[in-house]
Amino acid sequence: MNISDVINSFTYHIRSNLKPRTIKNYELLLNKFEAIYGKRHPASIGSDEISQFLEDLTFQCNKSTRRFRYAQLKTFFNFVIDKYNLDIKNPCSTPTLSKTFRMPNHKARKILDKETVDGMVYSANCLRDRLVIELQARCGLRIGELLKLKASDVSDRKILIQLPKSGSDSEVAFMPEQIAKRLVEYMKEKNLSPDDQLFPMCYSTARSIVRGLAKKSNIEISPHDLRRHSATYASRNGVPLEIVSKVILRHQDLKTTQIYLGKVSESEAIRWMDILHGK
């Protein structure tokens, strides 16, 4: 048994369980690893070699990509050790490698309240800017999804998301009636053809719109904070977690949605107890 053998087995495993985009991301790592260590037995590969391989592979990459490649290789060795009952320690699981490729400590993000988001919506200078805020904060769209939308993707109160982050061919997002009407009004105002982009702008422009409207409310946010608000606001108003996850955020896993919802403060916890059971 050598690395080439176990890569074949691992490839079959991920093709049966993961999305096409995730599989494609693994292939780069596995092809590079096999080219160097294909004839070696998994137990013969040490942590120093793993470290050098990752450094050579990711030295021009940003930190998140470096951590991602490390996590992939660690997952690969966990699979090999488990499937073939190898009595070895995962060579990726050393203090040095874990420290080098560790995840950063995420700062707790401020959860936007409805009044703040409403203030951003109503202070928008034009219909385009208002829709940029509403489609994220009310409908849960990612900024990247919003910028790729074409007029033909809008149908009544539904938005077709082509090639979404999940790796599926398409997904559907839903709009409240008033936002759907404003979007139709906007498309008529711009005289958009079916193949025209709804919002022909780059990410930096969209981000500037969001930050500029947030600054009027004396806060600093990113576009993704608006998507997070869409989940938190729905959850705090009694929408079932499954609806928040599958309909608003379109997540594959409920655990991912729970990360978005943030921490519940003591005052909010007490308020909900009063709502549920009375004072």
Inside any domain, residue 244 = yes
Give yes or no: residues 145 and 217 share one domain.
Answer: yes
Tokens, residue 206: 């969209």
Q: Of 76, 100, 124, which residue sits at a domain end? A: 100
Inside any domain, residue 253 = yes
Q: Report whether 195 contacts 154 (CB < 8 A).
A: no
Task: Report the phi/psi class of residue 163: left, alpha or beta, with left for phi > 0 and alpha for psi in -120 to 50.
Answer: left
pLDDT tens string 88-133: 999 999 999 988 887 666 555 667 889 999 999 999 999 999 999 9
Q: Which amino acid is at 240?
A: P
Q: What is the C-alpha separation between 51 and 96, in angstroms, rounded?
A: 9
pLDDT tens string 189-246: 999 999 999 999 999 999 999 999 999 988 999 999 999 999 989 988 888 888 888 8
Q: What is the C-alpha separation between 159 and 17, in angstroms, rounded?
A: 28
Give yes or no: residues 251 and 179 share one domain.
Answer: yes
Tokens, residue 14: 């991920």
> pTM for the whole thing?
0.64
Q: How confident is the model at residue 163 (pLDDT cuts 50, 70, 90)?
A: confident
pLDDT at 38: 95
Give yes or no: residues 43 and 67 share one domain.
Answer: yes
CATH code at position 229: 1.10.443.10
Lowest mean pLDDT among 36-40, 118-122, 152-156, 261-265: 261-265
Residue 84, C-beta contacts closer than 8 angstroms, at least 6 positions apart = 1, 6, 42
How many domains does the chain contain in total?
2
pLDDT at 54: 95
Tokens, residue 135: 């489609």
Which domain, by its residues, includes 37? 3-100
pLDDT tens string 60-70: 888 889 999 99
Give yes or no: residues 245 and 133 share one domain.
Answer: yes
Give yes or no: residues 80 and 131 share one domain.
Answer: no
Computed on alpha carbons and rounded to an integer, the radius of gyration of the chain in Å comes to 23
Give yes or no: residues 153 and 265 share one domain.
Answer: yes
Going from the C-alpha of 113 to that of each of 40, 97, 123, 141, the distances in angstroms are 56, 40, 16, 18
Q: What is the C-alpha separation between 63 and 73, in angstroms, rounded?
A: 16
